[in-house]
Amino acid sequence: MSASPQRPVRMISTQSELAWTVPLLDSVASAAGDVPALLSLAREAGGNWPQPGGGHTAHLWELLASVSAVDVAAGRVFEPHVDAQAILAQAGNYRAGHDPADRAGAWGVFAAEGPGLRLEAKTGDAGILLSGSKPWCSLATLLDRAVITAHTETGGRAAFAVDLRHPGVTCDEPAWVARGLREIPSGTVHFSQVPAQQLGSDGWYFSRPGFAWGGMGVAACWLGGAVGVARDYKEALTAAARSGREPDQIALAALGETDRILTAALQYLARMATVVDDGGLSTGDDAPETGGRSPEARESPWKPGAHTGTDGSVWSDALRVRGTVAAAVERVLSLVSQNRGPAPLAFDEPYAKRVADLALYVRQHHAMRDDAQLGKLTLKGEHLW
């Protein structure tokens, strides 16, 4: 039996410690493009993978990166479901002894806001009911439930667990024209008097440290995608060498720079995972939300100024991680595409898909806008230098 071509992405673990992941990665590779199959794998992972802040954050990020290295779109399926499970657990801890929702099924996380669209939560004799519209709801027609944010009667926003199979839920057909993440379109979902269960108090969703941790988990997915692109490049150079065409100095320099970039980013994520687990990024649990715009990392880019009611150290570190990883991904995409040229983008389906998927996924980062937010925190003294 031949060895599997799938390899995990390592931050702190040895290859042998992650050997158990290879069958999962083989399954992910086989299911690539088949979203129901990927959701089934994600549901199983959601019950078995560690949660952020629980002592094994680096292992969680290794798993997210490993799945994304196989197929970026698969990482885009796994991450929201795993994040939703963590949010539900955090909500249960927020209300000690309270299990916030039935966690079965496939979950999404929908917290984006959009012009002219508003989702409201109102409390009546029938409990909490959601009405209105929510944009950027990826895979809503295929999911069972979601963690979703809505405007409350107090003027704030809160998170709710909602059943997407309820008859009051209708989904627009997404007008998805992107070449990247084609199997994961995002569209608007409409709610009409849909029962929901609140998770935490108003503002809890955005002020909890898990929001920052989840944003770093998305960065782990981006980085895993870049590892996949880098592996494509290394394998192409190896194949060329076998056929008698040794890589020149420019090709080798690009591979060396790619190695430096990825190694540094992986080590940074590993260090930040340790800080998360040691409690160094766990402040701000009870801080009110004052931003008014969605900084949701899973469905839309973070917006500057959205965390002004929280302890800045959590957000400054999250912004550093996401910005550092996004820059690493952009540079690897540039190095590899420049050196491989147009042919594989035109004729190598797995490589072309990986590049298109990753280029779109990493655009969830808001580049200079996030750096401006970080600069504001830096002026306040939140830096190591």
196, 235 contact by CB (below 8 A): no
What pTM value is reported for the model?
0.91
78, 45 contact by CB (below 8 A): yes
Q: Mean of the pLDDT values across residues 1-24?
A: 91
What percent of the chain has a predicted confidence (pLDDT) above 90?
83
pLDDT at 284: 44
pLDDT at 184: 95
pLDDT at 2: 61
More confident residue, 3 or 264: 264
By mean pLDDT, which of 77-86, 90-99, 352-361, 375-384 is the weakest? 90-99
As a whole number of angstroms, the distance between CA 110 and CA 133 comes to 11
Q: Mean of the pLDDT values across residues 7-35?
A: 96
Residue 151 structure tokens: 């405007």
More confident residue, 230 or 281: 230
Q: How far is CA 29 from CA 37, 69, 142, 350, 358, in A?
A: 11, 10, 20, 11, 16
Q: How far is CA 131 from CA 102, 124, 201, in A?
A: 21, 13, 19
At 58 the three-state DSSP class reads: helix
Q: Mean of the pLDDT values across residues 344-367?
A: 96
pLDDT at 98: 54
pLDDT tens for each residue of 67-126? 999 999 999 999 999 999 999 999 986 565 555 667 889 999 999 999 999 999 999 898
Q: Is pLDDT of 23 > 50?
A: yes
Residues with Cβ within 8 Å of residue 35, at least 6 apart in sequence: 77, 139, 142, 183, 184
- Please state whether beta strands 157-163 and 186-199 pair in parallel, antiparallel, or not at all (unpaired): antiparallel
pLDDT at 304: 33
pLDDT at 301: 35
What percent of the chain has a predicted confidence (pLDDT) above 70?
89
Residues with Cβ within 8 Å of residue 199, at least 6 apart in sequence: 87, 88, 91, 94, 100, 101, 147, 158, 159, 160, 161, 205
Q: Mean of the pLDDT values across residues 45-66?
A: 95
At 48 the three-state DSSP class reads: helix
As a whole number of angstroms, the distance between CA 348 and CA 337 comes to 12
Question: Sorting pLDDT into bands at 50, 70 and 90, what band is 275?
Answer: very high
25, 4 contact by CB (below 8 A): yes
Q: Mean of the pLDDT values across residues 181-204?
A: 96
Please tell me what DSSP assigns to residue 2. Answer: P
The distance between the two most distant Cα atoms of the chain, rounded to a whole number of Å, is 76
By mean pLDDT, which of 260-274, 279-293, 320-334 is the weakest? 279-293
By mean pLDDT, which of 35-39, 89-93, 149-153, 162-166 is the weakest? 89-93
As a whole number of angstroms, the distance between CA 299 and CA 311 comes to 23
Q: Is pLDDT of 32 > 60?
A: yes
Q: Mean of the pLDDT values across residues 214-219?
A: 97
Mean pLDDT of the chain: 90
Residues with Cβ within 8 Å of residue 365, at least 6 apart in sequence: 222, 301, 302, 322, 323, 326
pLDDT at 281: 73
- Please state whether beta strands 119-124 and 127-138 pair in parallel, antiparallel, or not at all (unpaired): antiparallel
pLDDT at 269: 98
Nearest CA to 112 out of 74, 150, 86, 75 is that of 150
At 173 the three-state DSSP class reads: coil
pLDDT tens for each residue of 237-265? 999 999 999 999 999 999 999 999 999 99
Q: Is pLDDT of 47 > 50?
A: yes
